[in-house]
Structure 1
């Protein structure tokens, strides 16, 4: 019996001959400009909130990455692709999602009504725009360096970091926006408020989980080349649809009656646990998947 052939060394991430590399770089740089403008506007009006918010969300992110590294989520990979994944989520995807969401809200207001858009707009526009845009970053990184991510679990890890980047930058935008519109002069109060609400109550079942779920399908498509293309495409589409549905359910007014009194403590777990359970289930399936690219 012939010995199995070793996989070729993965390509470096600097690939100036690949169109995917330049598209990725262009959109990340454009996103950096957008995020920079938000930071500067916050510094001009609410400097303490802007700086404290940036520090708070950085401190929120780093322990999460350390924990997942200790759990072996990033096993066998260097830090570089995950830095790029975070950059896509926090810069490239955010840059594309801002105008896309505005356009979707405008369409819903005109086609249905402003009232419908106010109530259901986040549940429709958010997942419809944001889930594919985040997943584009995962696909671009796979195109830039084919073979670097050989398993479904490694692609899911990439998606997790893309989603985390989007989540953290989006939460920072909310922090600055809340500070600019806060009725009190205390600049640290809105930072703590958004950190507890969006980081604590919403964080475990937010964009990192959505994009990890959607990335399961991409990983399945590239890793299971022994299966028919139609089946692989079907799994990829189903994974994206699952992330879209869970994101839409979270953004929807469903279970809104629990947003009063002590029942608010039930609201977040009831809406978020399906997201977390789906991500953990797919992660378990991916870790038992032996087929590599």
Structure 2
């Protein structure tokens, strides 16, 4: 008697798949927190002694860098068209760069630098060690954080533009933490004779002279590749993988050029920083133009109400809300606008929206839809 034919297992119910995905993201979020705490512990272990010995200069440099961080954080979020990314997501990127990436890179750089010294000699390591070590370790660890945050918060990673913004924020956190460690190392390098001047000179020099073309530019380019890889776009998947790899390799090349021993001195370093800034800025211009072009096309599609293009600008949305009477009606209109923006940004991310996220955004629009008096909606 023959055995009955094997049957494929029934697919898991949609609700079960949602719960399972939620649990996986929770575990990934916990791993990100643990890695951030580990990196912070490495920084405390290596620099707490100097900070305790020179508390005034350490606090002064930390305060100045915190001010720069907040200003740059605000600007990098504002350059994203249509609307700024969520604060929690943005601060998560900064936290990864400032703790996990910086601490892990400190350990990895020390190990790889020792390898160059043993295999190629001390002279070679002193000249080329930074160019052969930091681009691999630091860009790899920063990019790993962008990937983890993109997977942990998939609704926020709609395309390469979101990857650019997240990468810039990760690099910004790394840059500020590294600047603080350099300020402390500058105090030690001068023998502690003028700790305040040494810390201040280090902070001012790294912020004003190389700040525009440092880690945030490199990570922005690498993040573009991560956003391209994790998003959904027309064409074969191998094209996305090739584009992502090209972006990451470009970021590594930018870092290598910045640390390379040629074009040294003040002028050469300034030229390198300007080059990295122009590369990251060029990426942003192209991505922003493509994003706004797709968003305008969506708002001009058949069936979209006239005047919906006000969603593209923050000023237009403020004026639209102001035209609605205050109270419960304005709150309902604000919820409708948020749902409309979610749908618009999902479609404009790459021009090829993800079905599950588009369906969820459509459902929120349908749930919130109503026509406020005197305002035409999307």
Q: Give the TM-score normalised by structure 1.
A: 0.87
Matches of 2:84 and 2:67 in 1, distance apart? Answer: 25
Q: Partners of 1:171 and 1:64 in 2: how far apart?
A: 14
User: SS where residue 254 of structure 1 aligns?
Assistant: coil
Kindly provide the CA deviation profile for residues 116-143 of structure 1, in whole angstroms up to 9, marking residues without a partner as x: 0110000010001110100111110111
Q: Distance in 2 between matches of 1:175 and 1:35?
A: 14
Paired with 1:59 and 1:16, the residues of 2 have a C-alpha distance of: 37
Q: Which residue of 2 aligns with 1:214?
A: 222
Trace 1:165-176 onto structure 2 (pairs within 5 A). 165-176=173-184
| 1:254 counterpart = 2:255 | no
135, 138, 152: which is aligned to 2:143? 135
Shift of residue 269 of structure 1?
3.0
> How big is each residue's C-alpha offset from its partner over 1:80-114, in whole Å with a ceiling of 9 and x where there is no partner?
01111111001011121111111111111122111
Please state how far the C-alpha of 1:51 moved relative to its aligned partner: 0.9
| Residue in 1 that maps onto 2:283 | 282
Maintained 8 Å contact 1:27/1:95: no
Cα distance, 1:276–1:148 mapped onto 2, change above 3 Å: same
Distance 2:92 2:113 in 1: 30
C-alpha distance in structure 1 between counterparts of 2:245 and 2:32, whole Å: 23
SS at match of 2:233: coil
Q: Show the counterpart of 1:77.
A: 85
Displacement of 1:198: 1.1
Q: Distance in 2 between matches of 1:73 and 1:28?
A: 29
Q: What is the 5 A alignment of 1:1-293? A: 17-18=24-25, 19-38=27-46, 40-72=48-80, 75-183=83-191, 185-256=193-264, 259=265, 264=266, 266-287=267-288, 288-289=290-291, 290=294, 291=350, 292-293=353-354
Q: Tell me the alpha carbon deviations over residues 206-229 of structure 1, each in whole angstroms, 9 at most, x when there is no partner.
A: 000000011111111223432211
The structure 1 segments of at least 4 consecutive aligned residues displaced by more than 4 Å after TM superposition are none
The one of the two structures with greater contact order (alpha-carbon pairs below 8 A, sep at least 6) is 1
Note closer, same or farther for the CA distance 1:254–1:73 as it changes in structure 2 (3 Å cut): farther
Stretch deviating more after TM superposition (270-279 or 161-170)? 270-279
Q: Please provide the CA RMSD for this pair.
A: 2.1
| 8 A Cα contact 1:149 1:155, kept in partner | yes
Give unpaired runs (5+ residues) of structure 2: 1-17, 295-349, 355-378
Structure 1 portions without partners, runs of 5+: 1-10
Distance 1:16 1:42 in 2: 41
CA drift of 1:149 comes to: 2.0
Report the alpha carbon displacement of residue 152 of structure 1 after superposing the two structures with TM.
1.6
> 1:8 corresponds to which residue?
none
Please say which of residues 70-79 and 201-210 is displaced more in the overlay.
70-79
CA contact (8 A) 1:163 1:210 kept: yes
Query: Quick one: distance in 2 between partners of 1:70 and 1:139?
Result: 22
Q: Which structure has the larger Rg over C-alpha atoms?
A: 2
What is the CA deviation profile of residues 218-247 of structure 1, one whole-angstrom value per residue up to 9, with x for unaligned ones? 111223432211111111111111111110
Deviates more, 1:17-26 or 1:231-240: 17-26
